[in-house]
Structure 1
Amino acid sequence: MRVPQPTARSARKAASAATRNLPSLAAGEVDVPFVIKGYEEVVARDTRWNEHSHPWHELLWNEHGASTAVVGSDVWCITPTLGLWMPAGQLHSASAVAGTSFRAHFFRYGTTSALPGTPVSVEITPLLRLLLERLGEPGLTDGSRAVTEAMVLDVVRPSPRALLVHLPTSELLRPIVEAVRADPGDQRTLTGWAAALGRSPRTVTRAFQAETGTSFARWVAAVRAQHAVRLLAQGFEVDVVADVVGYRSASAFGAAFRRTTGMTPGMFRAR
């Protein structure tokens, strides 16, 4: 398996990973005085949040670095350009790698109908970022805040792109899921996997389509993109990451990464 070799420093980081426990609250269970409220933090250690839910909607995004949210069998990766809308009352767990500057904007339950009642990717456009940052400015008058909040609610929209992986749970596909998530650079094809599992390619193809809504090749590409985001956030060089996640060249990896995230690997790593 082609992975960056662990160092003493990374071993210490893993040993000192933090876990945070939050309550599970129903949508609207707690009344809040705000329409939109921002929160930001740079996590010093790899951090995990238990499964929990909020009484308000939540828009998650990062100033830099990578974080992950898990809803059932869906794994969402969050970056500076692709945020995640988490509806009020939705159970989810989360994690972030050390050094990630994550942002969370809380929306009072019932304030917006532009986004669905299920988790969805949101593109963090320059305009949306500017408006959200303005809400955090000290001395903002009530009138200016109301106008800015109305503009945020007007521009926040689902994105056609998402760093999302649906995890199959059947016994048939479990060996594939475990192997590819452990080593995204695994070069075995669907035909090769079918032979290893003693099933026909048609059976495996149908199973992937039924459980993930996509093809085996696209599912592998999504797993690779999520793994690449985490490695780049930890500072690994682009060519190293390209090799680890199974691309024959840094240019091929760069093109695939940009199609998925809207950024080149170099741009993401710099941020």
Structure 2
Amino acid sequence: MVRERRELPVVAAGAEVMPFAVLPYDEVVAHDTVWGEHSHPFHELLWNERGASTAVVGARVWTVTPALGLWMPAGTLHSGSAVAGTWFRATFFAYHAAPSMSDTPVAVEVTPLLRLLLERLGDARLSPASRATTEAMVLDVLEPSPRGLLVHAPTSALLRPIARALDEDPGDQRTLTDWATELGVSARTISRAFTAETGTSFARWVAAVRAHHAVALLSRGWEVETVAEEVGYRSASAFGAAFRRTTGLTPGTFRTA
């Protein structure tokens, strides 16, 4: 399988001037693609027209979808990946254009109105007055969302085997006790390590990892029942309940027909 790696520069916030306040970009990637760590001089809203991709900042991994985008502040070091066929969108915002948005990466719900406005900015026939009006409307409706598909990846030697196992097989059924036995430590030690490194419990972290993988499969058109089995749930209803607790959304939100 062809895998493409792209290297982009690290550029300080505000180091370059954009021709417009809001500038859209989109691309359908032909191959599985990885973007090395880089940063932009302008703010960026990552979202997809089709498929799911990931964005990584430090040990935090976000899933980006047609429903949930990610605000990436100017100057923030990040990397990313997308599978072949993903139609990704990147909307760039001039450094001083969105002062009310977060200065750290944050989820953004791509509402029908926001999508319509962002797509309108891709029309080369827009007059300067129409563009200015549309840009102002985008900045007016753009706001952080409490929802987000975020996983904090543990990096310590103790938790790395667990993270690797769940990344390779999100349906892995080993419990906290199972891992404690396998790693030769107490369950309490692992539990404390998860809280310290990820800010959440082992069980909630596993649910987040499974949701992260599930979204990628749903966005490729997989049936909910098949996804549920693939990520370790005994039924679609159990999967749906866990998914809603983790993301605040239903699996159907992300499924491509």
Unmatched 5+ residue regions in structure 2?
none
The one-letter code matched in structure 1 to 2:200 is T
Please state whether the residue corresponding to 2:212 is helix, strand or coil. Answer: helix
Unmatched 5+ residue regions in structure 1?
1-14
Is the 2:207–2:243 Cα contact (8 Å) retained in structure 1?
no
CA RMSD of aligned residues (A): 1.8
Shift of 1:264: 4.1
Which of 188, 207, 224 in structure 2 is aligned with 1:221? 207
Which of 39, 43, 61 in structure 1 is aligned with 2:25? 39
Is the 1:97–1:233 Cα contact (8 Å) retained in structure 2?
no
- Aligned equivalents of 1:98 and 1:265: distance in 2? 22
Instruction: Tell me the residue number matched to 1:72.
Output: 58
The one-letter code matched in structure 2 to 1:96 is A
Q: Does 1:170 align with 2:159?
A: no
Larger mean Cα displacement after TM superposition, 146-155 or 85-94 = 146-155
The one-letter code matched in structure 2 to 1:80 is P
Please state whether the residue corresponding to 2:107 is helix, strand or coil. Answer: strand
- Aligned equivalents of 1:182 and 1:125: distance in 2? 32
TM-score (normalised: structure 2): 0.93
- Aligned equivalents of 1:262 and 1:268: distance in 2? 12
Instruction: Tell me the residue number matched to 1:54.
Output: 40
Q: How does 1:71-150 map to 2 (within 5 A)?
A: 71-150=57-136
The one-letter code matched in structure 1 to 2:191 is T
Per-residue CA shift, 1:86-139, capped at 9, x if unaligned? 111111111111111111100001211222221111111122112212222342
Shift of 1:267: 4.9
The one-letter code matched in structure 1 to 2:39 is S
Is the 1:114–1:156 Cα contact (8 Å) retained in structure 2?
no
Per-residue CA shift, 1:217-248, capped at 9, x if unaligned? 11111111111122233443332221110011
- Aligned equivalents of 1:261 and 1:64: distance in 2? 19
Please state whether the residue corresponding to 2:92 is helix, strand or coil. Answer: strand
Which of 170, 177, 182 in structure 2 is aligned with 1:191? 177
Q: Does 1:160 align with 2:137?
A: no
- Aligned equivalents of 1:137 and 1:209: distance in 2? 47
Shift of 1:214: 0.8
Instruction: Tell me the residue number matched to 1:7.
Output: none
Q: Percent identity?
A: 69
The one-letter code matched in structure 1 to 2:199 is G
